Each structure stands twice: as C-alpha cells, then as structure tokens.
Structure 1
Amino acid sequence: MTTPLRQRKRPTGLPICMLLALLLGLAGPSRAETIRIPLSIDLPLLRTMIVNQAYHDPGEQTTIVSMAQRCNEITLSRPQVGSDGERLLFQTAITIHWGTPIAGACLAPLFWEGSLVLSQQPVIDGNWQLRFQTIDSTLFDRTGQPAQLAGLLWNLVKEHVHSYLGTITLNLAPPVDNLKQFMLNQTSDSQNEQTSRVLAGMHPDQPVVTPAALRIDILAEASPIDHGGGTDEPEAAMATDAAAQARIIELWQSWDAMLIHLIGQLADKPLSVEDRQLLLDVMLSVRYEFDAALSGNQLTDSFVRDQFVRSWQVLRPLFRRHLDADTSASLLGYLSFFTAADALTTLDSLGPLLGVDISRAGFYRLAHMLDEGPLDESGNVNPTLRRILGLGEPLAVPADRPPGTEGSNEAPEQIPEPVADPPPAPTSSLNRWLQAAGRLAALLPAGPRPAHADTLPGIAELRSWTAGITPADQLLPRVHRILKQVAADQWRQPVVKGLDGSWFTRMILATAWQESCFRQFVVKDDKIVFLISYNNTSIGLMQINEKIWRGIYDAQQLRWNINYNGMAGAEILALYLERYISKRPAKMSLKDGAGRRYLAAWLYALYNGGPSQLEKFPARHRTGDFFRSDKLFAEKYDRINGPDWPASVDCLPAR
C-alpha cells in the first residue's frame, strides 16, 4: 500500500516538486508495458480436446459407471460444444441402465436415454490448467423436450454425470512452453536474458467466450529495450551489401519452404475450388514479391516478417477450418502452432519490447509443431503441392531426356570446332531484375541434381537444337512444331468463350518469340549452354523462372529438355487464363481481332509479372501507358498471323 505523502520525511535541501519531477523522469523510460498474445481455441478444437480427455471409448463414448455385471451402467456419448455468446454450452448424450443385482440377475431395471446441456464458465489457474465451472444445467429427453426425471434418475445424473464432467481439465502448459521456446529462438543473443525473464513471467488472463472460440490472452510485463539512444530503425534498414542480402535470401527460402510445408498439411482435406485458388494466390504473390524486391534492390530486414504476417492473416481462416487436429497426438502441436503463428503477427508491438524477430530456426520450429517432417528446400517437383493447388499430376517427362553435368549449365562435352559468340540474349521481360540481382544469384542454393548420365542424349542431338550451330531456317520450323504440339496438348475447351485452339497456339508462339527468340540452347565460350536470363533466374525456350515455379516443375528438365520447357510454359499460360482471366468479366468482345489481341496482351502481362497484373494491365490499357514489354509482345502477336511470319524473325543467329 502506498504511504501517504504527509508521513514521508521531506529530504533536506531539495524541494518536493523537484524530487517528484526527478522520480517521474527516471521512472518513465523503464515503465513496463503489458504484452498480450492471443491463445485462441476454436470451439471444434475445444470439443476434440475434451473428447480426447474424457471420451475414451470408440465412437466418442465413455462409460462412467459400470457395476454388477453392467446391471448399473451410465454411458456418455456424442459430446458437443457451443456458445451462447458469454458462456460455453456443453451437451452430451446420456444412457442410464439401473437395476438391483441379485444372484447374478438384474431386477427391475430402469432405462433412460436423453441429453444434458451444461452452461459453463471456463476458468484457468496460474499453472495453465483450464477447467469448466457449471453455472446451470438442463436435461432433455430423447425428443428434445425438457425432461422430468424421478428422484433416483436425477440423483444418478447429479452424482455421477455432473461429478465426472466437473473433473475435465485441459493442460495448456505445453503449448505455452512451446511458445516461450519459439519466441526465445527469435530473440537476439544480446537480449536473451531480458527476454527470458519476460517469458518466465507469462501468465494467463481469464478466458473469454466468443461465438466461435475460447480466447485466453497470454500476458507478460516488459520494459522497452534500450538501444543506446540511437534513432536507427533496423527493421526498416535496407539490405544493400551482399552479406545482408544473402542472409535475407536464406531466411526467405526457409519461409517459402515453411509455407509449402504448411500447404502440404492440407493434402487430405476437402478443399474447395476457392480454397485451392487462395493457396495458389498466396504462394505466387509471395514469390513474385520476393522476385520484385530483389530485382529492385528493395530487400529490407523486415521483408520476410512482413510477408509472413500478411500471408498468415489471409491463410489463417482457411487453416482453422481444415486443420481439425482429430488425433490426440496432434492436438497440442496444433494449438502450439496457431498460438505461435498468431504471436508473430503481433511482432510490431513485441519486437521493441522483446527484441523478437523471425529467424530460420523459428520457421523450422513452427513447422515442426504441426509435423516433424523436414522442410524441403530442394526445389524438386512436389506432386502433393501440385495436387493441392489444383494443378494435377506433374508434367510427364518427354522422350528427350535432359543432358547436363552436375553444378554446371554446360553440355556434357565441348563443341569440337570453335564458333562465334552468340549475340546477347534478348532481355527477358519476365521479372526485370537489376544488374545487382544477377550478381546475387550466385548466393542462391544450387538447383536439383541433373539426370543420370545414362539418360542423356548424344551431343549430335543437342547440337541440332542449338542456336548458332543449327541454321535458323532449320531450327525455327522444329521449334514451331514443338510449340504447336504443346499448345494442342494443353488447350482445353471451353476456357473462355469465343477462343479456340488456334488463338492459344498464336499466344504461345508470340510468348516464346518475346521471351527467348525461340531458343533453348546457345553457344558460350565454345560450349553449348541452356539459355538463361542475364540475372540467372529464367530458363530456356519459355524463360520459366526457376525461383517462382520451384516445386512445380523439374528445374533440370526446364534447362535441358526443350519439349518439357515448352510444356511448362503452355501450362502456365493456361493456368493464368483459366484460373485468373476467365473469372473476370470480359472487357472487350472476343468475336473480333481487337478483343482477342487485348486478351493476349493481358495474359502475357500475367505470364510476365504474376497475378498482380490482373488489375494492373487493364489500368495501363485504359490510360495507354504501356510497359515496353507490353508493346514488344503485341508487335510479335500481330506478326504471327500469316504463313510468312517466320521470315520476320531476325533475332536468331546465323551459323
């Protein structure tokens, strides 16, 4: 209790007002702030936790009384959990058999079947033990009408059923301990001791019942961390040197792997078309954003954190619906995961108080709360991911197998005769990276291992597909045949009313012309190499970005198999057409050439820049302020409209 001011001794020689000012000035910076981290238990999850705690028999039943060879037996079943807005409503079916056992017989047995509904107030103690206090109860008969029980039956319900349900206790200490360790992993070494003290002081607020969940705020007191009076804001610091960018790249790849790991948890769930679209949107948006940030030299210390927070806010409702945690082994891990993920979304407030930030180890620990399996950062084709996203089975590998040597983009043997250096590759309009990003590409992990040597074609076959060795008048018709075939294989009717397969073929031809000038291989330093963009990200005939489409396509096949590269490009175009453009009202009539030309340019913009172009290209079209890539593609699309268009392809080198 505070001592009254008049009972204190006034210090000699120092006016009381000055003393108070001094005390207030000293106390201000160290004043503790209350941290609130939500621990939210959705009502379906709460029901599952109660079932695992109290309904032990198959079929979500439990026999709480069984005596005299089952002459006296009470069984509970079909538990349900709901809410009236302020309190929990717990309902359970009850079956009572009760008689008098005599000489192995059960005389005058009573039988009653109905249900009990309890109105309960959840309470939690300092040891994180969650209990449920019964405020009111009502019995119902089999028809759902309030039951009028005889004294014996009512006493049995009161003595045994109420008593048993009153013992249900859920231990929430494990998920809270997981959260503490998870957050400690995100703390810098210099702040570890202070953060440990704050985490040790975590305690629960009393539960609050909402219509959909039981919320228990985790409370802690923390003083702002003293950064030495500096004004720097490291969270917004731009990563300008190679080491800083390498660190962020590595962290982002762990985040990307964690996202794919998280999506993989939905493999056996009944996902709707909208669910699959949302997952695809988030994955592509995350990857295109990273691509753009790296190309624009805009990576900051907070980039990965911001991506995680925004993505989790979008995905959280979907995962809450589908991750029902229906096995006892996964319950606490499931709750731990959601609590930790929700805690990370409060980093804007937690960071200054705890020195918390997202780390690679944190992503691994977060993923392992759901599944102990390793995060896959290899980039190999992930069939489960493709199926979840609605892309179907992995592309079948064509007969032409990928040549290559480990760790190299060179063909397996040197070209015998010297050749002239090929002209510079046309700048791929896919993902305009700055030159600095190209230098950073070497920091990214190597791609998948190449195919085994016994699957490689001979050098003669490889030379026949190489620009600069095979004359343009021979190479172009061969590539043309491949593109027509992949277009025919990929086209499915009806995609968009008013379109046909010939339009799609023209679309693929114009895209290949724009992206690579119909080249899969070129000559460099007297070696055959696959065509790669200047920033080392996009590969081959259709210039498929390996980072954006990792896990969806086989990187080695993209590099060394021209058929496979064409198939992947056609599938991406069809994906954007079917899953994005076709869902929007037509801006123009597709019955005339102008409408089909507009659609082609719109589709190429998505192929080039990702889902964000769904809105951005129509805006450019309205103002006429087109990108250079928009104009170049439109020119090529216009040219591919007659039998003599190959004569205008002047970007292939002569032998």
Structure 2
Amino acid sequence: MRALTVVCALLALASGATARELSFPLAVDYSLLQAAIARQLHVAGGEGVVWEEARGCRSLVLRDLHVERSDARVRVTARGRARIGFGLFGWCLAPVGWDGYVETFARPAVGADWQLRFQDLESHVYDREWQRTTLASRLWELLRGRVEREVGNVAVDLGPPVSEARALVRASVDPGRAGPVVAALETLHPTQAAVDDEGVKVMVAVDLPATAAVEQAPEPALSPIELQKWQGALEHWDAFLVFVIKNLGSIARRGDVRDDLLDLLLTSRHQLLTVLASGPTPGVDPVRQLFLDAWEQLRAIVRRGALQGGAEDRVVRFATFLVAGDILAALDAAGPGLGIEISADGLRRLARTLEPNYEGDPVAYSEAPDAALRELFQFHEPEQPGGGPSPGTWWWPGPGAAEAADVAPPDLAAVVRRLERWVPNDSEREAYRDAVARLLSDVAERAAEVNAIEARFRPVFAHLVPTVGWQESCWRQFVEKDHRVTFLLSGSGDVGLMQVNRRVWRGFFDLEKLEWDIAYNAGAGAEILAQLLNRYGVREGRGQVENGARATYSAYNGGPDAYRRYRLARVARTERAIDVAFWKKYQAMAAGRALDFVLCIQGWSPSRTQLSVVPRAATPNSCMRSRRSSATRTIEACHISIARRPIASFV
C-alpha cells in the first residue's frame, strides 16, 4: 500500500496547473544498512577485528552484526569479545577479557549530498546473558569511542541509485517532451530521514513544472505499424518481468518466495491478456499500469528474497533496483503532465541494475521454451507417450468400469499416432472419444506422479484433467477450417485440447508442440493443473476435496487471483457461468455420466437432483446439438470455456 499511497498523492497534487514541490519516500532496507555497517566495522566476512594493538594484547573482535528498528532510532547489535592488557617486551601483562554483546543506538540523517549517516550515538555493553556488569562497563569506557566513531563514519551513498533513476526516467520520455522532465529531475533532493519497519525512510522532494490541463482532441486509430509497436511494448514488459523474476529466483532459497514470484508472473500475464483484449488507446502507455500494478508486489518479494542476508554486492544491486524503481513509479504518477512512458529502453536500463554484465537483451521477447524458467518453478516437460498404463488405471467417461477392465488397453503410442490431426466423422466418434480418454488418463497419472499430488487428491485429479479438456475444447485438438485441418485456437491465444494460453505459459512449453502435438498439449495442461492444484487447490480442498478441483479450475481459467472465485458471492456473470458449467461437468465425469457429452455433439441438460443444486438456467448447455458430420468438425462459439475471455486483437 505504501507505493499506492504515494502514487495517489502525487496524482492529486499533479492535477493542478501550478508548479509544486512533491514529496515521496525511498526505503533504505535494514539489510543494506547492515552491509554498510559491517563493511565499516570490518565484519562483512562474519567476524572482524575492529581494533588491535600490541600484537593482540589489546583487541576488540565483533561478529553476528544485526540492524533493526528501535522506536525512532536504529539499533545495531553485535556479539563481541575484547582483551585489554599492558604490552611489555613482547609480553601481555594483566590482561582482562570480556565476551558478550555490544548495542548501539543511532538516529539516521541524510545530507544534500545524498549520504545517509548516523548521528547522536548511544552505546552499551553486556555480558553473554545480556546483563550489565561492572567489569564490562569499565572495559567499554575504553572501547566505546572506537566503536561509535566507526559507526558514525558509516555512509550509505544514495547518489548512484538516484542517478540511475534520473537516467531511467530520461529514457522513458519522448525527446521532444524531455525539457520539463529533465528540469524536474534536476530538482530532486532529500529532505529528511526517519525510521520505519522497512528500514530508514528518506523523504525525497521534486519540483514539478506547471502543467495546465489541456482538453485533447480524439486521436485517430493506430496504424498497423503503430499497432505492432503497441503490442511490442507489452511484450517488452513481459520479457522484463521474466528477466527480473529469473534473476531473483536464482538466489531465492525460500519456497514461499518462489511461489510468490510465480503468482506475480501469472497474474501479470493474465492482466496483459486483458490489455490485449481491450485494444490500444491512442496516447496511452500500455505498460504504465502493468508496471504500477506489479511494482508493489515485486518490491515486497525483493525485500524478502534478496535483501535478507547474502553477499553485499547483491544487496547493493537489488537496493539500487528498488530505489530506481520507486523513483520511476513515483514520478510516473505525474505522467499525464510530464509525458513519462515506461519504454523498452527504460525497462532495459532498470533490468541492468540487477545484472550490469548481462550480455543479452533483458527485454528481448521470445516464444522459445525457457529451461531456466521451467526449472525455477519446477515445471516438468510433458513426456512422450510410452507403453500401456498401470493396471487398473485406464479410464473412460462412461459406466461399466468392470466391463472396460476386461478389455486390454491399447498401446498409448499407437493411440497418439491415431489422434494426429484427426477430425472425426460420425462413424469415428466412439473410437475418437475412447482414444482421447486413454490419452487424458495417462497424462493425468503421469502428472500426479511427477508432481507428488497427495493420495487423497489423486481421484480428484484423475477426474479434473478430462473435465477441463471437456470444458475447454470438447476434447478437440484439431478442427477443419477452409477444408484444411488446423489446431484449435481461441481469440485470446488458447491452444488445442487443454486450451493452454501461449502468452500466459510462454517459456514453460514448446509453442509448436502445443499446437500440433495432442499428447504434448494434454501433458502440458495436466502439468499446469497439477501445479495449480498443489499451490491453490489443496488449501481449498482441506474440508472437501472436490473444492480443490473447483479452485484449481478457477485459477486455470482466470489466473492465481481467481482461485477462490468459485465460492465468492460477488462474481461477474460470465465468470460465474464458467465455474458453474465446469462444476456440473466435473460431477458428471466423477459419476461416470459424461458419455458422448465430452465431444459436445448434442445438448447436455443434467438434472439438478443428479448434479447440482444451482438453478439449471444458470448453466448454458453445450451448443452443438446436431449429429451431422459438420457438427463434429467445429467448436461452437457459445461453448462455455476459457475461449469466452475477451478476444485479443493480437495472438
């Protein structure tokens, strides 16, 4: 909320036509302060000699340095040991030793030179039980001056990140409109420093020029080249976010940090789909709101994952990244008046604060599989079809499981070969249904195994995978278009049997295989569902396991933020219809009553008493009612699925 408050305040102040001084905070994290103090006290490597004379006869050694808040001051603590004696002819006479803790309080202050320092120091010394003793106090009278002098000499230089932020903002404004921005940047100056829970908050002021409100005439629609540039800006943003997430994830040891990074990535990509679906607005930066929406969550993850311990150079790099990004986010609130845009050059420069020596382009967009991204979030490559399934696991969507068990299951590789570019006619419908059922059963079993799905959720997952295929595509990978067979593709870029969105899951899977390999598409969908079940479905299914399936599908359809959508009271009508339709299908699948309905050949109207207590009118039925061959070769638009999301202009 901190950045949001700053942005709202700046927007309110920037709306007038009079030049004003605007203020916003920069947080200097305690980890950065700790690294600076440790360097000054020579304990950056763990243990350091702060003072030593007479060949060790007089010395002070500190370790385990820690910096935190104490009311309105900064508290610095360290474990230490000291020895004080009299050196004579190589001997240490009457040495007195101490082992305990040092505690120093200080008030932060910032100067016009952007140097953050400590003033009004107050120090104490304790024994190993954090108790004051007479001996320790006398020793400390001899040592206090040295420690306080060293702490007082600590200076955190905010100049480099502020300079980086200035260059970043300059790179984010059109050269023809750069004059007011450059003038405003030159007025950036610190005003005061205070302590809060994140660290030391340095207040920064900037003088914004007067920007009288001008009513602009409607701009013409974008040309094809401008449309391509507009889409490219969004792709640069996605590439930037992936670069930062991979950089942070490579050093984040905590599983919850990596989970939050995946949540951020998927949420941002679902928002990107919404922007694409809405289309461009002339004169509006498409990346600006995506950046502001993601920045607060990203900075919180950086603080937990990168600034909590670790090498000093890494802490400094990420601190520079945060300071530069905070300044950009704050000044961007004045974007309507200053013409600031989050450009590719700006994103590129911000990314390089994390990895100055990176040889590639951190905002280059590629649809190729990204092994590092997949490894970071422990996604598995869909396996190629092998032999037959485990005994008793072959599933089909109808009754008579005992009878089906007497029939030897076909070899999966042969099944997949048969499904290649297969658009079934009426006479092939049953064989096609059984082949897809066989494939979905296999990929569900494999995904459950490699993702270690809990035993009590295994039956749920076995029903979930084929139900999602039914909901998303009516079990179709291929359709006929203009008398040619092609892969099923929605207006928002969802591909094939499991309607895997190629923008949301960019880098996780091979796009060409998603399009033309039905086994790969099924495996990718099952992998996504397994990941979402473990992350969101399990927590929702603690009381009733079926809720795990409902939460997983809501997240599959709407992104991580939507995993509770199925049970919320206030949900958009279209989204409610999607979740209700899925739940009815899931219950039919679990009860063995899916039958030929999975192909959407005819209208499906399950009774309320059999499948759901939701009023029947709330669930649109499948629209394909004809048994004619042509009805099996296309998917009607009114089928309730992920394809009902707003249609993007560019896919």
**TM-score class, shorter:** 0.7 to 0.9
Equivalent residues of 2:57, 2:86 under 8 A apart: yes
Question: What is the letter of the counterpart of residue 46 of structure 1?
Answer: L
Question: For residues 78 and 553 of structure 2, what CA distance do their matches in structure 1 show?
Answer: 58
Which has the larger displacement, 483-492 or 621-630? 621-630
Cα distance, 1:547 vs. partner? 0.7
Instruction: Indicate how the Cα distance of structure 1 residues 556 and 31 shifts in structure 2: closer, same or farther if over 3 A, else same.
Output: same
Number of residue pairs the alignment of both structures matches: 553
Question: For residues 231 and 380 of structure 2, what CA distance do their matches in structure 1 show?
Answer: 27
Query: What secondary structure is seen at the aligned counterpart in 2 of 1:156?
Result: helix
What does 1:330-341 align with in structure 2 at a 5 Å threshold? 330-341=314-325
Question: What is the letter of the counterpart of residue 307 of structure 1?
Answer: L
Cα distance, 1:552 vs. partner? 1.9
Given candidates 271, 274, 293, the residue that maps to 1:310 is: 293
**2:304 is aligned with 1:321:** yes
**2:329 is aligned with 1:377:** no
Question: What is the letter of the counterpart of residue 268 of structure 1?
Answer: I
Match of 1:283 in 2: 265
Query: What secondary structure is seen at the aligned counterpart in 2 of 1:262?
Result: helix
Instruction: Indicate how the Cα distance of structure 1 residues 486 and 181 shifts in structure 2: closer, same or farther if over 3 A, else same.
Output: same
Question: What is the letter of the counterpart of residue 144 of structure 1?
Answer: W
Match of 2:38 in 1: 51
Bigger Cα Rg: 1
Match of 1:295 in 2: 277
Match of 2:345 in 1: 361
What does 1:90-169 align with in structure 2 at a 5 Å threshold? 90-149=76-135, 153-154=139-140, 156-169=142-155
**2:523 is aligned with 1:543:** no
Instruction: Indicate how the Cα distance of structure 1 residues 549 and 113 shifts in structure 2: closer, same or farther if over 3 A, else same.
Output: same
**2:22 is aligned with 1:42:** no
Given candidates 524, 540, 546, the residue that maps to 1:568 is: 524
State the Cα deviation string for residues 309-329 of structure 1 (Å, max 9, x = none). Answer: 122223432321221263232
Given candidates 542, 553, 559, the residue that maps to 1:610 is: 559
Equivalent residues of 2:49, 2:59 under 8 A apart: no
Equivalent residues of 1:468, 1:522 under 8 A apart: no
Question: What is the letter of the counterpart of residue 529 of structure 2?
Answer: L
Match of 1:440 in 2: none
Query: What secondary structure is seen at the aligned counterpart in 1 of 2:178?
Result: helix
What does 1:359-438 align with in structure 2 at a 5 Å threshold? 359-372=343-356, 373=358, 374-375=361-362, 377-389=365-377, 392-398=378-384
Question: What is the letter of the counterpart of residue 289 of structure 1?
Answer: Q
Query: What secondary structure is seen at the aligned counterpart in 2 of 1:205?
Result: strand
Match of 2:395 in 1: none
Instruction: Indicate how the Cα distance of structure 1 residues 606 and 135 shifts in structure 2: closer, same or farther if over 3 A, else same.
Output: closer
Cα distance, 1:139 vs. partner? 2.8
Cα distance, 1:289 vs. partner? 2.2
Match of 2:621 in 1: none
Question: What is the letter of the counterpart of residue 34 of structure 1?
Answer: E
Match of 2:214 in 1: 230
Equivalent residues of 2:168, 2:328 under 8 A apart: no
Query: What secondary structure is seen at the aligned counterpart in 1 of 2:296?
Result: helix
Question: For residues 374 and 38 of structure 2, what CA distance do their matches in structure 1 show?
Answer: 35
What does 1:16-27 align with in structure 2 at a 5 Å threshold? none
Query: What secondary structure is seen at the aligned counterpart in 2 of 1:95?
Result: strand
Question: For residues 31 and 643 of structure 1, what CA distance do their matches in structure 2 show?
Answer: 70
Instruction: Indicate how the Cα distance of structure 1 residues 631 and 212 shifts in structure 2: closer, same or farther if over 3 A, else same.
Output: closer
Question: For residues 586 and 153 of structure 1, what CA distance do their matches in structure 2 show?
Answer: 59
**2:438 is aligned with 1:481:** yes
Cα distance, 1:133 vs. partner? 1.7
Is there any run of 5+ residues in structure 2 with no aligned partner, and where? 1-14, 387-412, 602-626, 635-651
Given candidates 166, 178, 195, the residue that maps to 2:181 is: 195
Cα distance, 1:366 vs. partner? 1.6
Match of 2:12 in 1: none
Equivalent residues of 1:222, 1:353 under 8 A apart: no
Instruction: Indicate how the Cα distance of structure 1 residues 306 and 82 shifts in structure 2: closer, same or farther if over 3 A, else same.
Output: same
Match of 2:469 in 1: 512
State the Cα deviation string for residues 424-468 of structure 1 (Å, max 9, x = none). Answer: xxxxxxxxxxxxxxxxxxxxxxxxxxxxxxxxx99x958954326
Question: What is the letter of the counterpart of residue 42 of structure 1?
Answer: D
Match of 2:190 in 1: 204
Equivalent residues of 1:94, 1:113 under 8 A apart: yes
Question: For residues 121 and 23 of structure 2, what CA distance do their matches in structure 1 show?
Answer: 28
State the Cα deviation string for residues 458-506 of structure 1 (Å, max 9, x = none). Answer: 9x958954326995555443333212211222346997998763x6445
Cα distance, 1:338 vs. partner? 0.8
Question: For residues 55 and 288 of structure 2, what CA distance do their matches in structure 1 show?
Answer: 62
Match of 1:17 in 2: none
Cα distance, 1:335 vs. partner? 1.7
Question: What is the letter of the counterpart of residue 293 of structure 1?
Answer: V
Equivalent residues of 1:490, 1:571 under 8 A apart: yes
State the Cα deviation string for residues 36-87 of structure 1 (Å, max 9, x = none). Answer: 232211223311222133325632423333x333333333333222332112
Query: What secondary structure is seen at the aligned counterpart in 2 of 1:206?
Result: strand
Given candidates 247, 250, 256, the residue that maps to 1:267 is: 250
Match of 1:246 in 2: 228
Question: What is the letter of the counterpart of residue 652 of structure 1?
Answer: T
Equivalent residues of 1:84, 1:211 under 8 A apart: no
Cα distance, 1:398 vs. partner? 0.8
Question: For residues 127 and 499 of structure 1, what CA distance do their matches in structure 2 show?
Answer: 60
Is there any run of 5+ residues in structure 1 with no aligned partner, and where? 1-27, 401-456, 591-595
Instruction: Indicate how the Cα distance of structure 1 residues 169 and 648 shifts in structure 2: closer, same or farther if over 3 A, else same.
Output: closer
Question: For residues 272 and 334 of structure 1, what CA distance do their matches in structure 2 show?
Answer: 19
Cα distance, 1:555 vs. partner? 1.4
Match of 2:50 in 1: 63
Question: For residues 558 and 339 of structure 2, what CA distance do their matches in structure 1 show?
Answer: 36
Match of 1:641 in 2: 593
Given candidates 317, 327, 335, the residue that maps to 1:351 is: 335
TM-score, length-normalised on structure 1?
Answer: 0.73
Question: For residues 642 and 162 of structure 1, what CA distance do their matches in structure 2 show?
Answer: 76
Question: What is the letter of the counterpart of residue 579 of structure 1?
Answer: R
Question: What is the letter of the counterpart of residue 368 of structure 1?
Answer: R
Which has the larger displacement, 83-92 or 371-380? 371-380
Query: What secondary structure is seen at the aligned counterpart in 2 of 1:567?
Result: helix
Match of 1:74 in 2: 60
